[in-house]
Each structure stands twice: as structure tokens, then as C-alpha cells.
Amino acid sequence: MPHAHAPSVPAAPAPFPLDPGSAALVVIDMQRDFLDPGGFGESLGNDVSILRRTIGPLRRVLEATRAAGLPVIHTREGHLPDLSDCPPSKLNRGAPAARIGDPGPNGRILIRGEYGHDIIDELAPLPGEPVIDKPGKGAFHGTDFGALLAARGVSQLIVTGVTTEVCVHTTVREANDRGFECLVLSDCVGSYFPEFHRVGLAMIAAQGGILGWTAESADYLAALEVLGAGSRTASAP
Ligand code: C5J
């Protein structure tokens, strides 16, 4: 049942019908291994500083979403210390400076429990916010993410995190095929490659929203404001 004051978010290709009763914010892989020097992202030859521009807008979205009472779910990409959940095809791909499981300044690269694997301090999960540990790029593969969303009655995902064309895209594609409506906040997702970022977002909203919707975080925040004003009006004597 849509919320009485459900606002729509200006978005591409059309306004997104935000339903606060069935929406959740997903924060994908905002881990030191992708955003700090010495981790997985840098081992692949990337300038990790480019991803850090997502932190400010994402922090505002996180705080406003929490204040509005919508669920927040975080994900982390990474592997068991014995690498038994890392397929050789992933482990051995390419010629990185260091491979998954190798030691680095932030601990073993992309290994659960290591400092570099954890979420950056600025976006640390609050107690009670689920953190999904995923071995793949998509949040559904090899995890209980789908079951967790079903248990909470979630059918809309507000998607943020890194990287736009890899884990964000894979998760949106997985979610879209499972019947979720995904709104991707364009300034809260980031890529090491500006062109992949631009095209990745365009691909989501193209063809009438073939994979979902895209919007600026300011428009999502404005919709949450309307929601808050609506609930204050509704509870006024
Ligand atoms: C990558 C991710 N890019 N979180 N992972 O390997 O997007």
C-alpha cells in the first residue's frame, strides 16, 4: 500500500514513485580496499581518489534516510581468508600489482576481517544495519540479500556506492530481474573511469528505464523532506 504522502523523485527516464513503506537504501562496497591507497582498486592500477567525491553526497543521503526511518543495508565485496569462495577465474584474472589475498598496507587485499575490507569511517554502518558480505560483484549472488529484502517487505532499492559499472551495475541488473525498482543516485555512485560512469548511468535509464531510474541525490533528499513535512502535518493536532 503506497504511503499517504509518497512523493515522486524527479528522475530519468521518468519520475520515480518513491514508496517509503517499501524502499531501502543500499550502500555498495564503500570499503577502504576501493577508496584508499594500497587496496584492491589501486592494485588494478586505478586512481582511487576519484571515488572519494561520492562520500560527501552519500553521507547526506545516509543521514537523511536514517532520519526518515527507511532501512539501510550495506554491502562489502570480499573473500574468506582461505580464498575458498574466490573462483580461480577471479583470483587469477589480469596482471594486477597485487592479487586478492596478498598482503598490503591495509591487510590482505579484499579479505574479510582485514582493515582494508571494512567500510570507510565516514559511512560506518550503525548497529543494527545489515552488512552483506558478498563474494561477487552483485549483492544477490552467494548471499542472503534477497531473503533479507523479502523479510523486510522491500521492493524498491535506492542504490549508491562503488563502482558504477561493476558492483552497482551488477546489483541493479540482478535486482531488476528479480522485480525490484531501482533508483540509482548518480552523484552517490562512482567509477575510476568517468566515461564508464557516464555510460553506466545512461544504460540504466535508457529505453524507458530498461534497468531502472537515475536521479541526483538532491532530488531524493527533497522527496524525503516532503515526506517528513507530510508526516508532521498528519500528526499535527
Ligand atoms: C570492483 C566493485 N570494481 N565494488 N568491485 O571490482 O565495483
Residue nearest to atom 6 of ligand 1 (CA): 166
Instruction: Decide whether any atom of ligand 1 lies within 6 Å of the 51 Cβ.
Output: no
d(CA 64, CA 59): 9
**Active-site residue, 188 included:** no
Nearest atom in ligand 1 to 168's CA: 7
> Is pLDDT above 90 for 237?
no
Q: What does the pLDDT average to over 3-24?
A: 89
Out of 69-78, 92-101, 224-233, give the one with best mean pLDDT.
Answer: 69-78
The residues pairing with 162 across neighbouring beta strands, listed in sequence order, are: 190
Quickly state the pLDDT bin for 235 (edges 50, 70, 90): low
- Burial category of 97 from C-beta neighbours within 10 Å (exposed 0-12, middle 13-18, buried 19 and up): exposed
Q: For cell 573462483, what's the residue?
A: 87
Angle between helices 217-235 and 55-68 (to 10 degrees): 20
CB atoms within 10 A of CB 157: 24
Q: Which uninterrupted H or E stretch holds 182?
A: strand 181-190
Quickly state the pLDDT bin for 231 (edges 50, 70, 90): confident
| Model confidence pLDDT, tens digit, residues 23-55 | 999 999 999 999 999 999 999 999 999 999 999
Q: Which grid coordinates are listed for 237?
A: 493536532
Quickly state the pLDDT bin for 228 (edges 50, 70, 90): confident
Q: Which of 137, 123, 211, 206 shows the shortest CA–CA distance to 168? A: 137
| Model confidence pLDDT, tens digit, residues 108-147 | 999 999 999 999 999 999 999 999 999 999 999 999 999 9
Q: What is the pTM of this model?
A: 0.95
